[in-house]
Structure 1
Amino acid sequence: MNRYLIILFSLLSLNADAQKRIVSLNGAVTEIVCALGFEKTLVGVDVTSTYPASMQQVPKVGHNRNISAEPVLALHPDLILATDNFIQPTVIDQFKNVGVKTVLLKQEFSIEGTKKLITEIAAALQVPAKGLALCKQLDKEQKELHIATLDKKVLFIYARGAGTMMVAGKETPLDKIIGLAGAKNAAAGFNDFKPLTPEALVTANPDVILMFDDGLKSMGGVDGLLKVQGIPQTNAGKQKKVIVMDGQFLTGFGPRVIQAVKELSEKLKAAA
């Protein structure tokens, strides 16, 4: 009996070590891979993979919106993990044609969606028990989370300098995280992202403007933002109510999603 147990444990150990070279093409996926204990097996990640800090030392293969096969395959991965919303089908075909195991995951921007993503990645890595433990940790954090509904309209502005400014409508990660934090998305009349216009600002009239920290920096801070036509006329502009957060933390919907909801909710309360 003992001999059979030794053989079984040896097989399980081999399975756990089967993927030694992993490329992750999504920031949330990367966070989950690391949280499951596979941080050192990552040989390449996309540029949205900014957490944990050790990912800064891992080779980058491009942005997940425009990944090409060559830089990924050059890393000789055993496993490629990606979400299905950005990677082009032709690129996926190239991965599969050379025999690299490729797992496409559907990311849903909700707390339950995060748990589902964790479960699927844990299955791909053959560590379902670790996935279950991570989901239980999220369950615990969720039970301890108490969010008050705020009568605040929040407008998220994506900026890369004054020349590139977009606002987030419905069905975006920003829309979902604003709702989870107890507030309302001021841009309610459309889905996805659209260019920022003075007319849209007047219509939305947000109480608070939400931005990525590097986005506000690209504008020259709050003073630079207030030079954008239409913003000084909004409630948020008049009172300089601007909240900034790290982009991946705020919109990643990875293992830190509950922490992100809590931090945004606290910042919104402070801005009241």
Structure 2
Amino acid sequence: MAVIHDGQSGGTLESGCFSAAGPGCFPTGDAWWQRDRDRLCSRRGGRIIGTDQSSIYPPEATELPSVGYYRKLPSEGVVSLRPSLIVASENAGPPEVIEQLKQLGISVVMVSDKPDLESLRSRVETVARALGKPEQGKLLLEEMESALASVEETTIPALGAMTIVMRGGKLLGAGADTAANVVLETAGLKNVLAEQNAYRPLSAEVVSALAPDVIIVTSSTVESMGGVEKVKQSPVIAMTPAVQNSRVIVLDDMLAQGFGLRFPQAIAKVQDGVLGAAN
């Protein structure tokens, strides 16, 4: 969620806009975005004054006040930041808090938050309009589409793959209806967990039967497990073709699961990882 103030303190934002869905609505990091990070997010001298706890990219996001989990927003915490504009995922809530914020005269813009390109395009356009920067939003989309077309020209073997994350001490695998699934498929891989929805716990028996040739693991999972070698030694995946053939690819959490404007970058990193392991 982005809490954006366009009032009297002046200055412009240099870190980007954030979404309550976790990914940055307009994340920095891509070369084409770094050229001018505040070209869309500054609004008449306004600035972002707060985020939710899922806003971890870019790093500057973590330096801002957090209003907690975007599905359980505390009205008092949000109001205390004195925002004039709130940009939030369509999944943000509770509904009564969103309604209360509106009744207080705060402009609340809800954005599409589904794991598909159409939702991403809608999200960018909606935020750009809310900031009074529709042309900049259009430019961002054009650049993203160009980058996406470029990576889609790359061909890799259509191997079976899965994305894994550590949550609550358990390894979970990403099924259909997830951003991770779209990353795999767009990169040219086959998600071996496509028959399930969302994220589900993994067992050695299930993973062994699915025999993924490629495993994408998030950077936070690698960190929490003590390094990529520790991940490979996990009984859940140790005997997979992916581990045996060194096709375990570490991907930044927001790239693997965020579905923001860095989506083409996520595709490229997966493709590079697969092709690099093949050489």
Question: Could you say which TM-score interval applies, normalised by the shorter chain?
Answer: 0.7 to 0.9
The whole-number CA distance in structure 2 between the counterparts of 1:23 and 1:252 is 11
Q: List runs of 5+ in structure 2 lacking aligned partners.
A: 9-16, 29-36
Displacement of 1:122: 0.7
SS of 1:81's partner is strand
2:50 equivalent to 1:29? no
Match of 1:141 in 2: 147
SS of 1:271's partner is helix
The whole-number CA distance in structure 2 between the counterparts of 1:200 and 1:35 is 47
Quick check: 2:5–2:48 contact (8 Å CA) kept in 1?
no
Match of 2:32 in 1: none
Change in Cα spacing, 1:45 to 1:221, as seen in structure 2 (3 Å) is: same
2:103 equivalent to 1:97? yes
Quick check: 2:192–2:210 contact (8 Å CA) kept in 1?
yes
The whole-number CA distance in structure 1 between the counterparts of 2:217 and 2:39 is 27
Change in Cα spacing, 1:107 to 1:226, as seen in structure 2 (3 Å) is: same
SS of 2:256's partner is helix
Quick check: 1:23–1:80 contact (8 Å CA) kept in 2?
no
Displacement of 1:220: 1.7
User: Counterpart of 1:63 in structure 2: which amino acid?
Assistant: Y
- Where do 4+ consecutive residues of structure 1 move more than 4 Å? 21-24, 32-35
User: Counterpart of 2:42 in structure 1: which amino acid?
Assistant: F
Q: 2:252 aligns with which of 246, 250, 253?
A: 246
User: Counterpart of 1:157 in structure 2: which amino acid?
Assistant: I
The whole-number CA distance in structure 2 between the counterparts of 1:155 and 1:224 is 18
Q: 1:237 aligns with which of 226, 238, 243?
A: 243
SS of 1:159's partner is strand
Tell me the percent identity: 29
The whole-number CA distance in structure 2 between the counterparts of 1:35 and 1:205 is 45
- Please tell me whether Structure 1 or Structure 2 has the larger radius of gyration of its CA atoms: 1
The whole-number CA distance in structure 1 between the counterparts of 2:141 and 2:211 is 38
Displacement of 1:160: 4.3
TM-score scaled by structure 2?
Answer: 0.81
- Larger helix proportion of the pair: 1
Match of 2:12 in 1: none
- Which stretch shows the higher mean deviation, 24-33 or 237-246? 24-33
Match of 1:151 in 2: 158
The whole-number CA distance in structure 2 between the counterparts of 1:186 and 1:78 is 45
Displacement of 1:65: 4.1
Change in Cα spacing, 1:53 to 1:231, as seen in structure 2 (3 Å) is: closer
Match of 1:19 in 2: 6
The whole-number CA distance in structure 2 between the counterparts of 1:270 and 1:149 is 11
The whole-number CA distance in structure 1 between the counterparts of 2:210 and 2:270 is 20
The whole-number CA distance in structure 2 between the counterparts of 1:228 and 1:143 is 36
TM-score scaled by structure 1?
Answer: 0.83
User: Counterpart of 2:115 in structure 1: which amino acid?
Assistant: F
Change in Cα spacing, 1:92 to 1:167, as seen in structure 2 (3 Å) is: same
* Root-mean-square deviation (Å): 2.6
Q: Deviations over 1:133-152 (max 9, x none)?
A: 21222232233332314221
Q: 1:216 aligns with which of 210, 215, 222?
A: 222
Q: List runs of 5+ in structure 1 lacking aligned partners.
A: 1-16
SS of 2:249's partner is strand
Aligned length: 255
The whole-number CA distance in structure 1 between the counterparts of 2:75 and 2:61 is 20
User: Counterpart of 1:212 in structure 2: which amino acid?
Assistant: T
User: Counterpart of 2:231 in structure 1: which amino acid?
Assistant: L
Q: Deviations over 1:74-110 (max 9, x none)?
A: 1111011111134321221222232211111112323
The whole-number CA distance in structure 1 between the counterparts of 2:148 and 2:115 is 15
Match of 2:60 in 1: 54
Match of 2:199 in 1: 193
Match of 2:124 in 1: 118
Displacement of 1:207: 0.9
User: Counterpart of 1:151 in structure 2: which amino acid?
Assistant: A
Quick check: 1:19–1:125 contact (8 Å CA) kept in 2?
no
